[in-house]
């Protein structure tokens, strides 16, 4: 089934006096949501005991948990020490997401740095395969790495590159960040046809079954010529992309993605709005 939830905790969660992420699953369920993405963006700092506490709450409240791996990962970097650190971040994220009761880890694969694009991509491909071997070696084969589509040309992971990565191993689940695709394309996603072309590309690369299970990041976004600037909220009407153009396609094509909202501060409220749009209530 399709699921909706926030990346991290909304401002309103804290404004209502809640302080800890183990309180989030019940709070999300009360809003009618059923997914939650825990961020290790600035490091994997979650203790095992707290992870288990969140997992128990998530299970009790039917919240599907995923995790976002640290932003410091760069599998394009040829430096052996830096690569080791990237693998460690991935392994730590995989271990903790398992304790959280989830099996999806979203990864920013890399940055081009001063390399030719082809060389950076080759390093990333080798790195992703090595990451899979490390997961297998650590008994974490059940974890799905989700390479994410990125919002800046300096980053690795446009749509084609991301789909190519997912062809390396059947366990990879593409993370389609539609805000990033919109920013990278300088406002490319407006009509339902624009979104349909993206889904068509996923289906033709990975097949309909894998496309239907995709991981989705959705928010509005501000961008410049250099791509992504910052995530915005749905209330800020001048920013795209807009979920009402995508939702009918998910329905028509029988998709059951995990849709995570990354709007700035209002991620739970805006996830709820997406759920209502999908259910035809908005």
Q: Which residues in this chain contact Zn ion in the complex, by CB under 5 A?
A: 148
Instruction: Give min distance, CB of 134 to Zn ion, in A.
Output: 21
User: Which residues make Cβ contacts (< 8 Å) with residue 174, sequence separation at least 6?
Assistant: 146, 147, 149, 162, 163, 166, 202, 206, 210, 214, 215
Instruction: Give min distance, CB of 186 to Zn ion, in A.
Output: 20
Q: Which is nearer to Zn ion, 148 or 158 (CB)?
A: 148
Instruction: Give min distance, CB of 68 to Zn ion, in A.
Output: 6
Q: Which is nearer to Zn ion, 3 or 217 (CB)?
A: 217
Q: Which is nearer to Zn ion, 10 or 66 (CB)?
A: 66
Q: Which is nearer to Zn ion, 57 or 179 (CB)?
A: 179
Region of 113 on the Ramachandran plot (φ > 0 left; ψ -120 to 50 alpha; else beta): left
3: tokens are: 């699921």
Residue 26 CA from chain centroid, whole number: 22
Instruction: Give min distance, CB of 21 to Zn ion, in A.
Output: 18
Q: Which of 215, 221, 230 is nearest to 97 (CA)?
A: 215
Q: Are 255 and 2 in contact (CB under 8 A)?
A: yes
Euclidean distance between CA atoms 81 and 154, whole angstroms: 22
With CB atoms as reference, the residue minimizing the distance to Zn ion is 148
């Amino acid at each position: 089934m399709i699921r909706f939830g926030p990346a991290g905790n909304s401002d309103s969660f804290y404004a209502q006096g809640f302080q800890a992420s183990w309180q989030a699953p019940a709070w999300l369920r009360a809003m009618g949501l059923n997914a939650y993405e825990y961020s290790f963006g600035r490091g994997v700092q979650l203790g095992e005991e707290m992870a288990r506490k969140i997992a128990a709450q998530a299970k009790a409240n039917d919240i599907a948990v995923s995790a976002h791996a640290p932003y410091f990962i760069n599998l394009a970097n040829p430096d052996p020490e830096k690569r080791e650190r990237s693998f460690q971040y991935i392994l730590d994220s995989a271990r903790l997401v398992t304790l959280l009761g989830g099996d999806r880890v979203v990864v920013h694969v890399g940055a081009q740095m001063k390399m030719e694009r082809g060389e950076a991509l080759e390093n990333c491909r080798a790195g992703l395969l090595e990451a899979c071997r490390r997961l297998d070696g650590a008994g974490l084969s059940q974890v799905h790495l989700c390479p994410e589509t990125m919002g800046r040309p300096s980053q690795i992971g446009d749509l084609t590159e991301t789909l190519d990565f997912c062809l390396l191993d059947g366990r990879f689940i593409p993370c389609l960040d539609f805000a990033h695709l919109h920013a990278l394309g300088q406002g490319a996603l407006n009509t339902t046809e624009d979104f349909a072309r993206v889904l068509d590309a996923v289906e033709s690369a990975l097949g309909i079954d894998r496309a239907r299970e995709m991981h989705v990041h959705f928010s509005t976004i501000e961008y410049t010529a250099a791509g992504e600037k910052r995530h915005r909220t749905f209330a800020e009407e001048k920013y795209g992309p807009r979920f009402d153009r995508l939702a009918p396609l998910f329905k028509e094509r029988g998709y059951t993605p995990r849709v995570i909202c990354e709007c700035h501060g209002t991620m739970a409220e805006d996830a709820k709005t997406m759920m209502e749009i999908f259910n035809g209530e908005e």
